[in-house]
A and B are shown apart, each in its own frame.
Chain A
Amino acid sequence: MDLILPYLATLTIFFFVYNILTWGLNIQFGYAGVLDFTFITFVACGAYFSGVFALGPGQKSTGFEWILGLSWPFPIALVMGALAAGLLGIVIGLIAINRLRSDYMAIVTLATGTVIYGLVSNYTPLFDGFDGLAGLQTPFSQWLNINYNQFTYLWVGFCGVVMVICWFIAQRILNSPLGRTMRAIREDQEAAEAFGKDSVRVRLIAMSMGAVLAGVGGALLMGFIGAFNPAGWTSGETFVVWAALIVGGRGNNWGGVVGSFVVAVLVNEATRYIPPIPGNATLIPTVRNMLIGASLIAVLWLRPEGIIPEARRRFYQLPLLPGRRTPAEGVGSAGS
Chain B
Amino acid sequence: MNLVIQSVGFGLVTASVLALASVGLTLQFGVTNYINFAYGTYLVLAAYFAMALSTRAHLPFLLAAVLACLAMGVVAVAIAKGVMQHFVSRQAPLFYLLIVTFGLSLVIENLVQAIWGPGFQTYNISVGSPLNLGPFSLTPTQLIIIGLAVVAMVAIHLMLSRTSLGKAMRAMSDNKDLAQVSGIDTERITTWTWFITGCLAGLAGIALTVTTVSFNPTSADSFLFVIFAAVILGGIGRPYGAMAAAAILGIVTEVSAVVISSTYKDDIAFVALVVVLLLRPQGLIATRGKA
Contact surface of A with B, Cβ cutoff 8 Å: 33, 35, 37, 95, 98, 100-104, 106-108, 110-112, 114-115, 118-119, 122, 235-236, 239, 242-243, 246, 282-283, 286-287, 289-290, 292-297, 300-301, 304
Contact surface of B with A, Cβ cutoff 8 Å: 34-35, 37, 83, 86-87, 92, 94-96, 98-100, 102-107, 109-111, 113-114, 117-118, 221-222, 225, 228-229, 232, 263-264, 266-267, 270, 273-274, 277-278, 281, 290-291
**Total number of A-B contacts with CB less than 8 angstroms?**
120
What residues of A have a CB within 8 angstroms of the CB of B274 in the complex? 95, 108
Q: In the complex the two chains form, is A118's CB within 8 Å of B107's CB?
A: no
A33-B95, A239-B102, A304-B92 known; A286+B110 contact, CB < 8 A: yes
A246-B99, A297-B104 known; A122+B277 contact, CB < 8 A: no
A101 to B95, CA, bound (A): 11
Q: Could you show 8 A-B contacts with beta carbons less than 8 Å apart?
A: A101-B94, A104-B232, A114-B266, A118-B222, A122-B263, A236-B106, A283-B114, A286-B110
Q: In the complex the two chains form, is B99's CB within 8 Å of A103's CB?
A: no
What residues of B have a CB within 8 angstroms of the CB of A118 in the complex? 222, 263-264, 266-267
Q: In the complex the two chains form, is B281's CB within 8 Å of A100's CB?
A: yes
Q: In the complex the two chains form, is B114's CB within 8 Å of A301's CB?
A: no
Residue of B nearest to A235 (CB): B221
Q: Identify B107's interface contact among A106, A122, A283, A294, CB under 8 A.
A: A294
What residues of A have a CB within 8 angstroms of the CB of B278 in the complex? 95
Q: In the complex the two chains form, is A108's CB within 8 Å of B221's CB?
A: no
What residues of A have a CB within 8 angstroms of the CB of B35 in the complex? 103, 106-107
What residues of B have a CB within 8 angstroms of the CB of A304 in the complex? 92, 96
Q: A289-B110, A293-B105 are in contact. List 7 more A-B contacts (CB 8 A).
A: A33-B95, A111-B273, A118-B263, A242-B102, A296-B99, A300-B100, A301-B87
What residues of A have a CB within 8 angstroms of the CB of B104 in the complex? 293, 297
* Least Cβ–Cβ distance between B163 and chain A, in angstroms: 28
What residues of B have a CB within 8 angstroms of the CB of A295 in the complex? 103
Looking at chain B's contact residues, is the secondary structure mostly helix, strand, loop, or mixed?
helix
Residue of A nearest to B111 (CB): A290
Top 10 A-B pairs, shortest CB-CB distance:
A293-B106, A296-B103, A293-B107, A111-B225, A293-B103, A289-B110, A290-B110, A286-B110, A286-B114, A103-B35
Q: Identify B102's interface contact among A37, A100, A115, A282, CB under 8 A.
A: A37
What residues of A have a CB within 8 angstroms of the CB of B109 in the complex? 289
Q: In the complex the two chains form, is A300's CB within 8 Å of B281's CB?
A: no
What residues of A have a CB within 8 angstroms of the CB of B110 in the complex? 286-287, 289-290, 293
Q: In the complex the two chains form, is B228's CB within 8 Å of A289's CB?
A: no
* Least Cβ–Cβ distance between A237 and chain B, in angstroms: 11
Q: In the complex the two chains form, is A286's CB within 8 Å of B113's CB?
A: yes
A46 to B264, CA, bound (A): 24
Q: In the complex the two chains form, is B270's CB within 8 Å of A107's CB?
A: no
Residue of A nearest to B274 (CB): A95
Q: In the complex the two chains form, is A300's CB within 8 Å of B263's CB?
A: no
A246 to B274, CA, bound (A): 29
What residues of B have a CB within 8 angstroms of the CB of A283 in the complex? 114
Q: In the complex the two chains form, is B95's CB within 8 Å of A108's CB?
A: no
What residues of B have a CB within 8 angstroms of the CB of A286 in the complex? 110, 113-114, 118
Q: Identify A292's interface contact among B106, B225, B263, CB under 8 A.
A: B106
Residue of A nearest to B218 (CB): A234
What residues of A have a CB within 8 angstroms of the CB of B273 in the complex? 107-108, 111
Residue of B nearest to A94 (CB): B278
Q: Identify A35's interface contact among B98, B113, B229, CB under 8 A.
A: B98
Q: In the complex the two chains form, is B114's CB within 8 Å of A242's CB?
A: no
Residue of A nearest to B271 (CB): A115
Residue of A nearest to B112 (CB): A286
* Least Cβ–Cβ distance between A9 and chain B, in angstroms: 29
Residue of B nearest to A113 (CB): B225
